[in-house]
Amino acid sequence: SGAGGYEALRAGKRHLPSATKPQCPPAAADPGSDSAPSVQNTLPHFLQEPEDAYIVKSNPIKLRCRAAPALQIFFKCNGEWVHQNEHFSHEYKDTKTGLKVREVMINVSRQQVEDFHGPEDYWCLCVAWSHLGTSKSRKASVRIAYLRKNFEEDPQGKEVPINGMIVLHCRPPEGVPVAEVEWMKNDELLHPDDTTDLRADHNLIINQARLSHSGNYTCLASNIVAKRRSATAAVIVFVDGGWDEWSEWTVCSSQCERQRSRECNSPAPRHRGRMCEGNSQASENCTNGLCTQSKDRKLLHDVKPESDSNDVALYSGLGAGIIAVAILVVAVMLYRKNHSEYGVDVIDSSALRNPLLLNSSIQPDLTVGRTYSTPLCFQDGADKELFDPLPDIKVKVQSSFMVSLGVAERAEYHNKPPSETYPRDLNRDYCGTADRRKKGLMTLNGPVGLCKEQQRISGVFGHNGGRLVVPNTGVSLLVPHGAVPEDNTWEMYMAITPPEASLQTLEGCEVLLGPEVTYGPPGLDLLTPVALTMAHCAEMDSAEHWNIQLKRRTQDSKWEEVMSVDEESTSCYCLMDSASCHLLLDAPGSYALVGEPLSQAAVKRLKLAVFGALEGPLSYGLRVYCVDDTPHAFQGVVWAERSRGGQLLEEPQTLPFRASSFSLQVSIQDVPQFLWSIKPFTTCQEFSFSQVWCSNQSPLHCAFSLERFSPATAQLSCKISVRQVKGHEQILQVYTAVAECEKEPLPFFTQTDCTVTTQSGPRAFRIPPSIHQRICATFDTANATGNDWQLLARKLHLDRNLGYFAKQSSPSAVILSLWEARHQDSADLDSLASALEEIGKIHNTKTNNKEHRQEESDCNHIDTGSLCRIAQLDTHEMEEQASEYTG
């Protein structure tokens, strides 16, 4: 800076456009004039320099400069002078120094920052002139502020012992400016204390865990744009149980023993802490073996020989006993031999006396009652039909080998020959239940009170479209923007049919993989297809072993095939994800996803859950559910348990169930023998293969009834093993308090099953309408190398069945509708932004390769400038625009 710089500027050597050249300062003022203090022998001095700023959403920011003495002040941004018309200046005299102070301000908009592409951030500085030369201010950077939605690392729940160390990690979302992190416990702000340390790396450290530190911890990240909450981490500080001192020995009893006991209360286990190891009771002989237990004992020399008749009776009884034991051993060996193919002994006490239950296809009773009771489980429904009219079948365990049926009228069926056991053949095992299923003979194991009503929702939609969602079912319907003609509205509905009504017309070896969904009204006439999403339970890793079809119900209540998911069709589109199916449909009606196994390698997913409830002062019941792994099917379990007052004891687990024709076994293990008892021969129960494979969205369940020895026993810990014979196994760990007052409501029950969500207009979509229109206008244009919507479909991994998109009036709009349906839960725009950015690079590369051959190549291809502008939309920008519609 200096006088030379000012003179060069005045001579026009800055290469500025005439419209943007700064005005030359006036001639030097007379020292005797009023302005003399402003022209003293000093360079301009900045009283206020521009500061770094952030643009929030679409609000422009203001940069200010103030200098004295200064004849002119201009802003220079990114090496270029800002137009003088964009400056707002103000001049006044400092009363203390008498110098003229000039203040200048400019506005910087979001568009200006986005249009700048350089190696560094958008920046501006001030240049001030005086008679002696120029001075430059510091550079101020201008950045677009944002805060992404997803945390880079969410805190994870932990279970730590008391006095242990708790470390919760949190990495906030990427943002500008960098987000500040706070921690919340049970939705209240957490303040550091002598045991809590908030580290600079955002981690939360608790050095000595106390019981009061148990709770739900959340990481809160915020900057000038927004606040984000991480996933909640449940921290449980547990206490392992410790034994109290032994009690005094009791007096010597008539059995020549004395006893003592101790309790697990020093401390008592809390918050899932381990129970004490060892015995709570001890006994010993109190007479060193001198005491006898019989008052009529006779000494050996006092015993007189009995008569020979007594000897004959004695030996006859011994012989009969030996023969009875031998017969029993042979019977048990034959029984185990028949069940050896399962790899485990499945013992049911009724099998010892009831010849009908000696067949391996019949399972123990799973009815829930005050006394332990179990309905008979059949692999072949022919035998099951005999028992269906009877209201309740109970097996009472009177002794180890005595079994009687609770309904005497059923004795006439006991001598019937056992049902035929299916050979391990695919056709017989899969298809043998088709006729019985139509007649409704495949019933549940135990009375599960399911909701029989049809779930139905509706909404009115216009040209802007919208979305229908049935919460907690995985079922939704997306009506795209423009599907309804302008100035028209349709009242549309969507309904989920109960499983029982869907089973009546399935044929052969087919099973229902998800709920039957109906949308309408029947005369619905739309301009573009709707996107229907529904969950399924087929394991897609074994998709080549399935024949999965989309079927539609006809007017005479029969199913007709619409398409196979492996084939291409121009009438509809089917996209199979790991747990959901997304359909593009033109015709309203009832649709269902139906699967037929092609081999024994086909797998479907089962959801396993265990519930518990008190059944009496000392008895506690466990109910284990096996249901197809879809949200709608599991909601049936939730509905039934809520009416029973059940408590969810463990996070539900998933079990792959193979089409190998082997049964499913449920067993209870590791029950504390000194605290709880369970009825003999009821620790392992079994579902036949056909019951599980053909459950068709209806839950199966079995029950275990336990009884505690003392009311003081307040904890129950055990394991539930669910395994397919020669297949996968899943363990459900049960650890719960059995006192009525300590029950907590089920987390699944906090959701309202019948709540309907209807969204209409822009708020129903993740992609803002303006961006949606720009993408469609860009990619629906054809070029010499093909339609650019094909490239969009390929980058979004939707490049199957392109013939369906080709027949649409706007292929890009249909592709984006399918993307919306696929990402409705994640609301993550990263994949779309990345795909657009990648496409922009491809087109820029093509354009650069052709520039030396054709100057006007941009006119013969898609508008690459427009594409680049779309691709350069950062994810945070799309999220901020979307938030205006979605909240």
pLDDT digits (tens, 9 = 90+) for 620-640: 999 999 999 999 999 889 988
Ranges 190-199, 343-352, 658-667, 822-831, most confident: 658-667
Average pLDDT over residues 90-107: 88
The model's pLDDT over 252-304, given as tens digits with 9 standing for 90+, comes to 888 888 899 999 988 888 888 888 988 989 988 888 767 755 544 444 344 44
| Domain annotation for the chain: domains and CATH numbers | 3-144 (2.60.40.10), 148-238 (2.60.40.10), 338-438 (no CATH), 455-497+505-598 (2.60.220.30), 603-750 (2.60.40.2660), 765-886 (1.10.533.10)
* Type of residue found at 186: N
Q: How far apart are CA 613 and CA 622, in angstroms?
A: 7
Of 557 and 171, which is predicted with more confidence? 171
Region for residue 402 given its phi and psi (left: phi exceeds 0; alpha: psi -120 to 50; beta: otherwise): beta
Residue 665's pLDDT is 93
Listed in sequence order, the residues at least 6 apart from 293 whose beta carbon sits closer than 8 Å to its beta carbon are 254, 255, 256
At 855 the pLDDT is 40
pLDDT of residue 88: 92
What is the arithmetic mean of pLDDT over 847-851?
52
pLDDT above 90 (res 399): no
Torsion angle of alpha carbons 359, 364, 365, 366, nearest 10°?
-130
Q: Give me the sign of the Cα torsion angle 344, 349, 353, 354.
A: negative
The confidence score (pLDDT) of residue 12 equals: 36
Answer whether residue 590 shows pLDDT above 80.
Answer: yes
User: Residue 548's pLDDT is what?
Assistant: 92
827 band by pLDDT with thresholds 50, 70 and 90: low
Q: pLDDT tens-digit profile of 774-817? A: 888 888 876 655 557 888 888 888 888 888 888 888 999 999 99
- Residue 511 has a CB neighbour count (10 Å cut-off) of 24
Does residue 329 or residue 398 have the better pLDDT? 329
Helix/strand/coil percent split, the chain, to 5 = 25, 30, 45
Q: What average pLDDT score do residues 232-242 get? A: 91
Distance of alpha carbon 530 from alpha carbon 162, whole angstroms: 55
pLDDT over 80 at 28, yes or no: no
Contact 689, 734 (CB under 8 A): no
Q: Quick one: which of 250, 253, 251, 249 has its CA closest to 293? A: 253
Give the pLDDT confidence score for residue 749 in this predicted structure.
Answer: 40
Q: Which amino acid belongs to residue 476?
A: S
pLDDT bucket at 826, cuts 50 / 70 / 90: low
CA–CA separation, 597 and 589 (whole Å)? 26
More confident residue, 529 or 7: 529
DSSP code at position 171? B
Least Cα distance to 617 among 555, 708, 543, 530 occurs for 708
- The pLDDT assigned to 770 comes to 85
pLDDT at 416 over 60: no
CA gap 76, 780 in Å, rounded: 41
Give residue 414's pLDDT band: very low, low, confident or very high (50, 70, 90). very low
Q: Which residue has the higher pLDDT, 605 or 354?
A: 605
d(CA 304, CA 306): 6
| Lowest-pLDDT range of 203-217, 501-515, 871-885 | 871-885
Residue 382 has a pLDDT of 34
Packing angle, helices 788-795 and 769-779, rounded to 10: 120
At 523 the pLDDT is: 87
Predicted pLDDT of residue 802: 85
Q: Virtual CA dihedral for 93, 94, 97, 100, nearest 10 degrees? A: -40
Q: Which residue in this structure is represented by tokens 């019981």?
A: 211
- The whole-number average pLDDT for the span 655-659 is 94
448-485 tens-digit pLDDT:
555 556 688 889 999 889 999 988 889 999 999 989 99
Can you tell me the distance from the alpha carbon of 196 to that of 210, in angstroms, rounded to the nearest whole number? 11
Distance CA(830)–CA(838), nearest Å, equals 12
- What's the whole-number average pLDDT of the chain? 75
Residue 525 amino acid letter: D
**What is d(CA 44, CA 72) in angstroms, rounded to the nearest whole number?**
10
Report CA-CA distances (Å) from 643 to 406, 638, 731. Answer: 26, 9, 26
Residue 880 banded pLDDT, cuts 50, 70, 90: low
Helices (H), 719-829: 769-779, 788-795, 802-806, 811-822
Cα angle value 432/437/438 (rounded, 5°): 115
Band of pLDDT at residue 539, cut at 50, 70 and 90: very high
Cβ 711 vs Cβ 739: under 8 Å: no
The C-alpha atoms of residue 814 and residue 824 are separated, in whole angstroms, by: 15
pLDDT band at 540 (very low <50, low <70, confident <90, very high): confident
Provide the CA 191 distance to its chain's centre, in angstroms. Answer: 31
pLDDT at 66 over 80: yes
| Whether residue 558 has pLDDT greater than 80 | yes
Dihedral sign, Cα of residue 406, residue 410, residue 412, residue 418 = negative
The partner residues of 405 in beta bridges, in order of sequence, read 395
| DSSP assignment of 604-662 | EEEEEEEEEEE-SSSEEEEEEEEEESSHHHHHHHHHHHHHHT-EE-S--EEEEEESSS-
Q: What's the confidence (pLDDT) of residue 800?
A: 83
pLDDT in tens, 35-53: 444 445 678 889 999 999 9
Residue 338 has what pLDDT?
59
- Residue 426 has a pLDDT of 46
Length of the chain: 887
In angstroms, rounded to a whole number, what is the distance separating the alpha carbons of residues 435 and 428? Answer: 12
Report the SS3 class of residue 361.
coil
Q: Is the pLDDT of residue 1 over 70?
A: no
pLDDT band at 501 (very low <50, low <70, confident <90, very high): low
**Strand spans (E) along 485-639:** 490-497, 511-512, 516-520, 530-535, 546-553, 559-564, 573-576, 580-585, 589-597, 603-614, 619-628
**pLDDT tier, 395 (very low <50, low <70, confident <90, very high otherwise):** very low
- CA distances 819 to 218, 262, 421, 631, 699, Å, are 31, 64, 48, 21, 32
Burial 436-473 (b: 16+ CB within 10 A, else e): bbeeebbbbbbebebeeeebebebebbebbbbbbbbbb
Ramachandran assignment for 648, one of left (phi > 0), alpha (psi -120 to 50 degrees), beta (any other): beta
Q: Are 87 and 106 in contact (CB under 8 A)?
A: yes
d(CA 141, CA 125): 9
DSSP SS3 for 711: coil
Question: Closest by alpha carbon to 861, among 880, 874, 842?
Answer: 842
pLDDT higher at 303 or 643: 643
Terminal C-alpha separation, the chain = 52
For the cut 80, the answer to whether the pLDDT of residue 503 exceeds it is: no
608 φ, ψ (degrees, to nearest 5): -115, 135
- In 339-446, where does DSSP find H-type helix? 381-387, 426-431, 434-438
Residue 117 predicted with pLDDT over 60 = yes
Q: Which one is predicted more confidently, 49 or 405?
A: 49
Which region among 277-281, 397-401, 618-622, 713-717 has the lowest average model confidence (pLDDT)? 397-401
Contact predicate 502/798, CB 8 Å: no
Burial class for 699, CB neighbours closer than 10 Å (0-12, 13-18, 19+): buried
Q: How far is CA 721 from CA 274, 665, 717, 736, in A?
A: 20, 8, 13, 17
What single-letter DSSP state applies at residue 254?
T
Q: Six-digit token pair at 379? A: 């692999």
Torsion angles phi and psi, residue 49, rounded to 5: -105, 155
pLDDT band at 542, cuts 50/70/90?
A: confident
* pLDDT value at 397 more than 50: no
Contact 546, 519 (CB under 8 A): no
What does the pLDDT average to over 56-66?
92
Which of 146-150, 344-348, 375-379 has the weakest average pLDDT? 375-379
* Residue percentage of the chain with pLDDT more than 90: 31
Neighbour count for residue 84 (Cβ, 10 Å): 15
Determine the average pLDDT of the residues in 598-622: 91
